[in-house]
Each structure stands twice: as C-alpha cells, then as structure tokens.
Amino acid sequence: MQFTIPKIAVVLIMLAVLGVVAAAIAIPLTNAPTFCASCHTIKPSYDSWFTSTHKDVTCVACHVRPTFEGFVQDKVIKGTHDVWVTLLGIPKKPDDLHAKVYSEVCLACHRNMLRISEVATRDLPGPLKKAGLIMEHRKHMEAFKKRGQGEGCTTCHASVVHGKPYKGYPNVIPRGHIKLDQLPAAEKAVLEASMVKAHRTMDCFRCHDGKTEYEGKVLSRKCLTCHLSENLSDFLF
C-alpha cells in the first residue's frame, strides 16, 4: 500500500518552513535600534537613546518583555499596529508617544537597586554614594503594588533614556528633582501642548505631600528621607 501525503499537508508544511525562515530573518532585523529609527516618528527617541546612559541597551530589551506573552503582545501585535499606522494611518507626534516599560524588565538588570537602603553606605556603587542615596526602593515597589495603579520603576525614572539632563547633571535624574518652571522656555512650550506635560510635572511630592499615609505613617517631605545630609548641598541643589 502506497502512502501519499495530502496536498494540503504539503502546503501547510511549506508555509510553516517559510514562516520559520522569515521569522529567523525578521526578528533580528526588527530588534535592531536602527530599524526602529527608520520610522520618522521614532527618530527623535532614537537620537535621545543614542546619547543616553542606556545606549548599549537595545529598544526591545526595554520595550518587549522577555516572555512569550511579552513577545506576542509587545512586539508582534504592537509592532504590527505601529507599522499599520505609519504606512496607512496618521502617526502621533514624537512628543505624544507613550510606551509602557514594565518594572520586571528594569529589575532584570537593576535588581540591586532594591537593596540600596539595606547595605552600608560605604558599599554603595560610586554614583549612588556620591548622591548619598539611601532611598528605600523596595518599599516603594511594594507600595506601588499595593496601590494597584500600574506604578513602578518608570513612575520616577520614565525620562532616564529619552529625557535631557538639567541643572548640570551628567545624566537624567528622577523627575522628583525637576520642576516644570526649571525647563527651558522652548521645551516648556512643547510640553504644555503634549501629554508629556503630565508625565514630567509629577514629582516626589505627588505622594510625599505631608498628608498621604503609608502603613499608618504620613510620608515625609524631608530630603533626608532619601539622601544623606552631607551630600545634599554639593550634589542636589
């Protein structure tokens, strides 16, 4: 008895093979930051990334979660949507772009930040020791989780890659130290007309307002809550 493979099965196998080959070519290609920069809407974000402290970290390393669900939702679905809008729709202005970066992605590289307040000051990394940073990151992450409002690392560090340093800082610092009235006039005008304004104007005092409580205690407004006193005058102000 001669066994024959149905034509439909042959077609499906060929399509599967072609799909695997196409994916093997497309995934590395679309993972490259230069591919992202090929879209004129993303170009400003590429330029800011290229001069940031994260210039050695690819776009997908932050914007695509390293799970199957993350790959499908963050890269395949959102990526397809972005291509569709770019080619056939009306792309947003660069200042109005918004992308979610999940805290688990940040903590994959920066998990040691959770221990800042749990180690001796002498053992802090150089930049943190210089800033005298003793902020309890772990407690903030726990509080964000309890609040259930989608807060996380980017609640304070959202501009670390695509923002610009101010006040002579060598890199972008958490937005708690930057007020809207300290921004250059030209950029302030742009922020006034975009969704980035709300993103930038939120600072430490959004929660540390002298009224908000956590675990039965009013959150302190004092700088010494997060910084050692001997470092404040030289580094922060």
pLDDT digits (tens, 9 = 90+) for 66-80: 888 988 898 888 888
| Cα(139)–Cα(208) distance, integer angstroms | 14
Q: Which is nearest to 151 in space by CA: 207, 209, 223?
A: 207
Domain annotation covers residue 39? yes
- DSSP-assigned letter for residue 194: S
**Residue 57, pLDDT above cutoff 60:** yes
Q: Which of 83, 75, 208, 197 is nearest to 135 (CA)?
A: 208
pLDDT category at 105 given cuts 50, 70, 90 is very high
In a domain, 75, yes or no: yes
**If we measure between CA atoms, which residue out of 32, 51, 37, 38 comes closest to residue 161?**
51
Q: What are phi and psi of 218, to 5 degrees?
A: -75, 130
Number of structural domains the chain divides into: 1
Q: What CATH number has the domain bearing residue 40?
A: 1.10.3820.10
Domain that holds residue 7: 1-97
Q: Please report whether residue 41 resides in a domain.
A: yes
Do the domain assignments include residue 193? no
- Single-letter amino acid code for the residue at 167: K
Q: Name 227's bridge partners.
A: 133
Rg (CA), the chain: 23
Share of the chain above pLDDT 90, in %: 4
Q: Own/partner pairs for 142-151, CB < 8 Å, 24+ apart?
A: 143/214
**Out of 23-32, 176-185, 220-229, least confident range:** 176-185
